[in-house]
């Protein structure tokens, strides 16, 4: 159970890192479910890249900085945007078939999304993530140097000495056993924490595991108050929070009230193509103002064959629920979608802890600032995943990792605990009600009090020594929810995806919210 590199997470960031490393070293990829159980697999829109002759990296950077509310790191943003062309070429080399322009099919088709001033979204119809993960997943499964460990839950990072990563404690849910995996390098690619909210587009596995693990290991986290809500998730009694891609608005979709009134021009000059935080707040405002369950996304002015060609999966999903998007406006509401903050890391994934890396949505590289620009996330996954792999390979060859001798006194509990599902849902409803699109000092205080009580209870259960996948995820959800609330309460302004009605103004100087667990640091020392 000793490897050169352990990668936690099998979304695009994890797979890109693994495939870049695999020709040179032995890699294990841990996945709580299958490869298809990631947020990357669900991604619809595409990958931002300045490929059009009329576009440029400079314009891509400007759009990213504008959407980020002044909190983007300009150097990191430029580094990632400048690598977009190479990233797209690499994905094509892996077998990803992106949509092309008809009739010659000679060039990639580029669409446009909110916040972009140009068409620069490379996509595979409206299921880009599925196409990308399928291609990379197949190569991952076939590579002799990659071991795919499915239904394996990372518990915590193992520290060697005062400050170095030595491996992972892992729960093998297939065989109800605890494992110690040793490696000199660990890459956290666990995605975000959308499951802290009751209504989310993220998969059930998005429980903030990597962020919580890094925090407990003493790493800094930043900007966790900026949870991006996607403005348009499907609202239907028989449907889950299925994402209606931003590309629908990019191709002319309009947001309307039930009586047909278009409302976005009254909220922002960019109307439906304003950044996501602006559109989500506008929808939230209209829903509350008029006492609505939802608003409607109308693209019925587009021909049916256009919709079927450009949005085949959305079209089919809506039709299965009795909504014909060629004739019926689509009922939509905002849903928690993307964690803009995360573990503080550079664009090569390096964290505060030597040997520990964070890539993709788990990390806070400075690219997204206070509000992620559409389709920059998959780009970040490829660029930072490759950079992390290269950073690892550039280091002197590490000695084989020694398996840590001491294991904590914990045991696997394979009997479902009847209250854990209820506790998880109660947490998600609390965050939806008190720490949603619009917050207040009072709502954040209420959330902090409830979270402290629930965290104490879960800590007692954890210390009792009987762990399970449900308890492990709830522990991480509570940890990240608490960090989100503390970061939100400390920000005395409204910026990007964070809006506090008690502090509606935006301060002239943008500062990231950086936190560190001093207790963990002291223990490590």
pLDDT at 431 over 60: yes
> Residue 484 — very low, low, confident or very high, per pLDDT cuts 50/70/90?
very high
Residue 243 domain flag: yes
Residue 262 domain flag: yes
H helices of 104-217, in order, are: 128-142, 209-216
Here the tokens at position 430 are 């609390």
Report how many domains make up the chain: 1
Residue 40 domain flag: no
Residue 319 domain flag: yes
The residue assigned the tokens 């159980």 is 37
pLDDT of the residue at 245: 86
pLDDT of the residue at 448: 97
pLDDT at 175 over 70: yes
pTM: 0.91
Phi-psi region of 245 (alpha: psi -120 to 50; beta: other; left: phi over 0): beta
pLDDT of the residue at 104: 61
Q: Which residues of 303-322 are buried (b: 16+ CB within 10 A; e: fewer)?
A: eeeebeebbeebbebbeeee
Residue 273 domain flag: yes
Q: Is the four-CA dihedral 145, 164, 347, 381 of positive or negative sign? A: positive
Percent of the chain topping pLDDT 70: 93
pLDDT of the residue at 105: 63
Q: Is the four-CA dihedral 310, 313, 314, 318 of positive or negative sign? A: positive
* Beta strands in 80-144, from DSSP E residues, in sequence order: 110-111, 121-122
pLDDT at 166 over 70: yes
The answer to whether 227 and 336 are in contact (CB under 8 A) is: yes
pLDDT of the residue at 199: 87
Beta strands 146-150 and 27-31 are parallel
pLDDT of the residue at 22: 97
Lowest mean pLDDT among 156-170, 259-273, 306-320: 156-170
pLDDT at 465 over 90: no
pLDDT at 225 over 60: yes
120 is catalytic: no
What number of CA atoms fall less than 13 Å from residue 174's CA on the CB side?
10
What number of CA atoms fall less than 13 Å from residue 504's CA on the CB side?
2
pLDDT digits (tens, 9 = 90+) for 296-338: 999 999 999 999 999 999 999 999 999 999 999 999 999 999 9
Element (H, E) at 333: strand 330-339
Q: Average pLDDT over the chain, rounded to whole?
A: 91
- The CATH code of the domain that includes 288 is 3.90.700.10
> Residue 525 — very low, low, confident or very high, per pLDDT cuts 50/70/90?
very low
Q: Which domain holds residue 252?
A: 227-336
pLDDT digits (tens, 9 = 90+) for 23-82: 999 999 999 988 888 888 888 889 999 999 999 999 999 999 999 999 999 999 999 999
CA distance 88 to 108: 10
CA distance 42 to 359: 18
CA distance 369 to 376: 12
CA distance 224 to 238: 32
Closest CA to 381 of 188, 141, 154, 231: 188
pLDDT of the residue at 402: 60
Here the tokens at position 298 are 């109308």
Percent of the chain topping pLDDT 90: 79
pLDDT of the residue at 408: 52
CA distance 257 to 331: 10
Is the pLDDT higher at 418 or at 491? 491
| Contacts made by residues 416-424, CB under 8 angstroms, sequence distance 24+ | 416/468, 416/470, 417/468, 417/470, 417/471, 420/468, 420/470, 420/471, 420/474, 421/470, 423/454, 423/457, 423/458, 423/474, 424/470, 424/473, 424/474, 424/477
Is the pLDDT higher at 355 or at 1? 355
Residue 13 domain flag: no
pLDDT of the residue at 522: 47
Which one from 249, 276, 317, 372 is the annotated catalytic residue? 276
pLDDT at 400 over 90: no
């Amino acid at each position: 159970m000793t490897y050169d590199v352990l990668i936690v997470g099998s979304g695009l960031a994890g797979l890109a890192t693994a495939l870049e490393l695999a020709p040179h070293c032995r890699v294990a990829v841990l996945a709580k479910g299958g490869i298809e159980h990631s947020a990357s697999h669900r991604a619809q829109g595409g990958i931002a890249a300045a490929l059009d002759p009329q576009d440029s990296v400079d314009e891509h950077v400007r759009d990213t900085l504008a959407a980020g509310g002044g909190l983007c790191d300009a150097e990191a943003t430029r580094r990632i945007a400048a690598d977009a062309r190479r990233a797209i070429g690499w994905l094509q080399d892996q077998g990803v078939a992106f949509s092309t322009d008809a009739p010659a099919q000679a060039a990639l088709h580029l669409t446009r999304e909110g916040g972009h001033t140009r068409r620069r979204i490379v996509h595979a119809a409206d299921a880009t993530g599925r196409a990308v993960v399928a291609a990379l997943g197949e190569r991952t499964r076939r590579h002799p140097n990659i071991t795919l460990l499915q239904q394996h839950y990372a518990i915590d990072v193992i520290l060697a000495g005062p400050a170095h990563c030595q491996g992972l404690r892992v729960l093998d849910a297939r065989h109800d056993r605890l494992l110690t995996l040793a490696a000199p390098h660990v890459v956290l690619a666990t995605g975000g924490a959308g499951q802290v909210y009751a209504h989310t587009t993220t998969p059930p596995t998005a429980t903030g595991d990597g962020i919580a693990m890094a925090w407990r290991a003493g790493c800094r986290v930043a900007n966790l108050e900026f949870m991006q809500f996607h403005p348009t998730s499907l609202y239907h009694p028989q449907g889950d929070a299925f994402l209606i891609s931003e590309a629908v608005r990019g191709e002319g979709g309009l947001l309307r009230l039930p009586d047909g009134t278009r409302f976005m021009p009254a909220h922002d000059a960019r109307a439906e193509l304003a950044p996501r935080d602006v559109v989500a707040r506008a929808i939230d405002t209209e829903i509350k103002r008029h006492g609505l369950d939802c608003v409607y996304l109308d693209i019925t002015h587009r021909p049916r064959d256009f919709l079927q060609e450009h949005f085949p999966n959305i079209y089919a999903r809506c039709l299965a629920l009795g909504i014909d998007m060629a004739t019926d406006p689509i009922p939509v509401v905002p849903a928690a979608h993307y964690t803009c903050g995360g573990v503080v890391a550079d664009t090569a994934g390096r964290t505060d802890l030597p040997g520990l890396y964070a890539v993709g949505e788990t990390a806070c590289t400075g690219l997204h600032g206070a509000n992620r620009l559409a389709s920059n996330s998959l780009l970040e996954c490829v660029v930072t995943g490759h950079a992390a792999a290269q950073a690892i390979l550039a280091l002197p060859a590490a000695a084989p990792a020694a398996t840590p001798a001491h294991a904590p006194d914990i045991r696997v509990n394979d009997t479902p605990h009847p209250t854990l599902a209820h506790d998880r849902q109660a947490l998600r409803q609390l965050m939806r009600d008190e720490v949603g699109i619009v917050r207040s000092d009072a709502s954040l205080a209420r959330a902090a009090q409830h979270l402290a009580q629930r965290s104490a209870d879960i800590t007692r259960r954890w210390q009792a020594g009987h762990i399970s996948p449900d308890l492990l995820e709830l522990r991480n959800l509570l940890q990240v929810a608490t960090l989100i609330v503390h970061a939100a309460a400390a920000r005395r302004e409204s910026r990007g995806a964070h809006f506090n009605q008690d502090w509606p103004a935006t301060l002239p100087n943008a500062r990231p919210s950086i936190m560190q667990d001093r207790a963990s640091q002291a223990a490590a020392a």
